[in-house]
Copies of this chain bind each other. A is one copy, B any other.
């Protein structure tokens, strides 16, 4: 049997700060193929919140434990488990629901062993955001060194990863951030990560945004996680024949495109959803990419803002993740 587990449970879908309760769950049996993992850390991602709210297209049946990715240490293994031993660090790959708890039992095939030299908070968060960035740079346009991409929401973790993963490949990034107090500091920070250009939305209220690009070629690929005007700005930068990939809608505004962009500028609009991509028999490929991304975090080539939060303070971390306490870094629960 597993140890009892302290878990963030919701019995019904609804506002996360009212439906989520921290509860002790009883021990569960460890079957021959099972691995019991003591969770070390797990993030609160926007999609976790959407699953709890019930607005996500795919969500576990309730009652459910929150969370979808994270890192843990193997605590004990079933009799038929050969590849994993107590003490190993593992992540669920593809991600799997229920990571917001102290002990998690799942079949061995769920778990991917990783290098223990990886910083814990990166191991906990490597799949949902960084893998999205990597796939979106690979899957839509054949980019070569010297090419450029443009994105809005550049301060998001996916955005920060796009800047850095593009830089590793010699690809320029043009970044759009919203107008805010302290935008100069944000610009400097993104440039330190490798951003070639960073503009606030207001700066782009000019007739020809491309005139703002000095030596950077027109981007053939754009990323949109905001919608509304911020999506239109991405489209304005795109080269003839370019593609904009939508992976989020933070402004809750739709994407509005003039007819001429399709006909005369030959723009393509696509979407990306990691969960669908991973469900299409990509498990092995996925794990290879995770290992690559983790190696970049170890070498310092890939980093992003996070805040570790003790499990005891989960309600505060949740409030921060819900945006109730202003703009906050990604919250990562430390068990």
Contacts and interface: CB of A to CB of B under 8 A. Distances in A.
A202 interface: no
B259 A254 contact: yes
B267 A271 contact: yes
A296 interface: no
A271 B257 CA distance: 11
Interface stretch (A95-103, A244-252, A298-306, A308-316): A244-252
Interface string A238-272: 00000001111100001111111111111111111
A156 to B, nearest CB: 14
A259 B269 contact: no
B260 A257 contact: no
Contact of A257 (B269, B272, B273): B269
A57 interface: yes
Contacts of A258: 249, 254-255
Contacts of A270: 262, 268-269
B256 A256 contact: yes
- For the side of the interface on A, what is the size category? 20 to 34
A266 B273 contact: yes
Contacts of A259: 227, 246, 248-249, 254-255
A324 interface: no
A246 B263 contact: yes
Contact of A254 (B248, B257, B271): B257
Contacts of A180: none
A213 to B, nearest CB: 22
Contacts of A207: none
A219 to B, nearest CB: 18
A192 interface: no
Given A255-B256, A257-B255, A260-B249, A268 B266 contact: no
Contacts of A248: 259, 263
A276 interface: yes
A269 B268 contact: yes
Nearest to A276: B266
Contacts of A263: 246-249, 271-273
A183 to B, nearest CB: 24
Contacts of A269: 257, 262, 268-270
User: Counting chain B CB atoms within 10 Å of each CB, which of A248, A257, A272 scores highest?
Assistant: A257
Given A267-B271, A268-B271, 15 more contacts: A246-B259, A246-B262, A248-B259, A249-B263, A254-B257, A255-B256, A255-B259, A255-B262, A262-B270, A262-B271, A263-B271, A264-B271, A264-B273, A265-B271, A266-B276
15 contacts: A57-B264, A245-B262, A246-B262, A246-B263, A247-B262, A249-B259, A254-B259, A255-B256, A255-B257, A255-B262, A257-B257, A262-B270, A262-B272, A267-B271, A269-B269
Interface of A: 57, 227, 245-249, 254-273, 276
Q: Which 8 A-B pairs have the closest CB atoms?
A: A262-B271, A249-B259, A269-B269, A246-B262, A256-B256, A263-B271, A57-B264, A263-B273
